[in-house]
Chains A and B, each alone.
Chain A
């Protein structure tokens, strides 16, 4: 158990819909990272937040957005869902905003778009 929690564990929805994935970092960690893992693309970095502010952006689509709240939990919003968005979405956290910090991954949310 890494100490990072993600909800829900599974999510099944239809194309065109919008969903919100939630992540609570380890106690004391200020940074949250979001990753997408699919069979064809592997593990892709989406976005990083540090203490409420966006720190780095990766391969995140415009249909996706994220935020980190004052209590440091984070949400990833996925809209206008397509079949290709079906994937495992991981959240990770680290102590500071420094990229070389150890990242602790949560158990993931499996999204299925039908």
Chain B
């Protein structure tokens, strides 16, 4: 299956600083989703990117899909303590032996914010 690397694994910032997490693949991705999981919580869907070079914004969050569709990033401007959690990228991967697809979650980036 495809190899997806998410970096950094951990990031600690001061409140108000920016934050970026990157998701890199060795193969071309058809589609990628991003999720956030608060400590002790469950993953919550944030966004889906499909088109090459796509950029989507949700308030202080900016999501990008690379031109070659091999990487994606999530950028948070002026972090707040409510941004604390683990951010996962989840590219679609073809299920081995069939025509079905599955979401393959990256290891995630744990963001902590110092108030």
The segment out of B19-27, B54-62, B77-85, B101-109 that lies at the interface is B101-109
Chain A residues near B43: list those with CB within 8 A: 43, 90, 92, 105
Q: Is the CB of A56 within 8 A of B45?
A: no
Task: Please state if B105 and A56 are interface contacts (CB–CB under 8 Å).
Answer: no
- Interfacial chain A residues near B45, Cβ < 8 Å: 102-104
**Complex alpha-carbon distance, A43 and B41, angstroms:** 13
Tell me whether B87 is interfacial, beta carbon within 8 Å: no
- Chain B residues contacting A107 (CB-CB under 8 Å) are 41-42
Determine if B103 and A99 form an interchain contact, defined as CB atoms under 8 angstroms apart: yes
Question: For chain A, which range describes its interface: under 10, 10 to 19, 20 to 34, or 35 or more residues?
Answer: 20 to 34
A45 interfacial contact with B, CB 8 Å = yes
- The answer to whether the Cβ of A106 comes within 8 Å of any Cβ in the partner chain is yes
A48 CA / B41 CA spacing, docked (Å): 21
Chain A residues positioned under 8 Å from B106 (CB to CB): 42
In the docked arrangement, what's the CA distance between A103 and B37, Å? 13
A108:B102 contact, CB within 8 angstroms: no
**Does chain B have a CB within 8 A of A58?**
yes
Q: Contacting A100 at CB < 8 Å: which of B42, B48, B95, B105?
A: B48
Alpha-carbon separation in the docked complex, A42 to B42 (Å): 13
Residues in B with CB closer than 8 Å to A18 are none
Can you report 22 A-B residue pairs in the complex whose CB atoms are below 8 A from each other?
A: A43-B105, A43-B108, A44-B105, A45-B103, A45-B105, A48-B100, A55-B100, A56-B95, A57-B95, A58-B95, A90-B42, A92-B43, A99-B102, A100-B31, A102-B45, A102-B48, A103-B45, A103-B103, A104-B45, A105-B42, A105-B43, A105-B44
